[in-house]
Amino acid sequence: MRRNTYKINTKILAVLLLFGICISVVWNEFSTESLAEESVKSKNQKIAEIRPSDLYARSAVLMDAGTGRILFAKKKDAQMPMASTTKIMTCILALENGSLSEKTEVSSIASSQPEVKLGMTTGQTFYLKDLLYSLMLESHNDSAVAVAECVAGDVSKFADMMNKKAEELGCRSTYFITPNGLDGQDEKGIHHTTAEDLARIMKYCIMESPQKEKFLEITGTDTYTFADCEGERNYSCVNHNAFLKMMDGALSGKTGFTADAGYCYVGALRKDGKTLIVSLLACGWPNNKGYKWSDTRKLMTYGLENYSYKEISPVQIGERKTIIVINGYIDGFPEKGTVLLETKAVGESKEILIGVNDKEEIEQKLKKGVKAPIKKGEVVGEAIYRINGEKTASYKLVSTKTVKERTVGICLKYLYKTFLL
């Protein structure tokens, strides 16, 4: 009896053990699948968008320097003073309109500028090249005035040059009064810009100007030493653009501060084939000097992680369409008053940065009421590529064939060839 009971208990124990093993295997498989699913979900999650409230700056822009497209904006059109970020315009105008080997004598106006300054004295002479390093590395206000006087004769004329160049670059809300960015005002208003305009000026300096390489060389220099032309005094400059050592690929930049402007910054970075520009206005006041670096890193990182290049070509956005040509004739019996003409898009392909959350749209606008004659290659419409509703690229739509006008002469000629020859 006991032996039978023992056998039964042994069998029950074996069954329970086997059941436990099965449950364990199933549970492990379930757990593994769950972890795999969570891993996939984690990889497929959309990268969070940056919000205006995430930044300290009152006005900010992240721009694709390749196209000028704005990837992020916070009050981009707000007109604000920009302090010493002004000096990027001063520098590029001097490079384009002056000679680096040119000597300039310091005026009493230049020598009387407030801090931060080189400490030049009236009557001293300097090479323009040396003053540009002083201007961009140490942000010396007296050097800015000396540069302006060297290039244009006086500050007022140089300000006119600055405003003319800003207008040429498409800066709609920028007004320069001083070459150093000190707060200023005249009958036309205050010395000011917008985050968008400031980014546009930097884009010109590093991407478009014939002197872009020299601009990058100067603004990317760590330290620079020089002497006045008389050789009586030596000077040493250290680059105060801390961003140059904060992120891989940092290219250029300029800091700024005045009581009205607060801390400002404009900088550029090139990495993974992308060139990005960040501009910040009113990014804190003392004791918040580091806010501009926090915002710059945040925006640059956002641009690098969320955007990738996509090729946009005429074939992609210019899908072949047909238009009706009134009173047209291509071949055959000219009995109809209209013909159908196929179109195609023409132009060069473009590389455009596309964000993970961007919405792409394609629109084709064809002319209506088109009348013959139409030549092959004649423009009959436009193919437009939009990102988030903004026109980003466009291509001309042209006719693929020549369409003659259906005239009495063409009809008679057809009849003659068909029935009389």
| DSSP letter, residue 89 | H
How far is the C-alpha of 410 from the C-alpha of 421, rounded, in Å? 16
Q: Determine if the peptide bond prior to 163 is cis (ω within 30°).
A: no
Active-site position among 139, 252, 279, 399: 139
Is 139 an active-site residue? yes
SS (H, E, C) 178-226: CCCCCCCEECCEECEECHHHHHHHHHHHHHHCCCHHHHHHHHCCCEEEE
Which residue among the candidates 75, 76, 87, 254 is catalytic per the annotation? 87
| Beta-ladder partners of 127 | 103
> Which among 84, 111, 143, 252 is annotated as catalytic?
84
Among residues 130, 335, 326, the alpha carbon closest in space to that of 233 is found at 130
Residue 87 annotated to the active site: yes
- CB of 278 closer than 8 Å to CB of 62: yes
**Kind and range of the H or E run holding 267:** strand 262-271
Half-sphere exposure (Cβ direction) of 177: Cα atoms closer than 13 Å? 14
Cα 142 to chain centroid distance, Å, stands at 32
Do residues 151 and 161 touch, judged by C-beta distance below 8 A?
Answer: yes
User: Residue 191 has which token pair?
Assistant: 């010395």
Helix (H) or strand (E) holding 94: helix 87-97
Place of tokens 């800015």: 144
Q: Alpha-carbon distance 36 to 43, whole Å? A: 11
Cα 418 to Cα 408: distance, rounded to the nearest angstrom: 15
- What is the set of active-site residues? 84, 87, 139
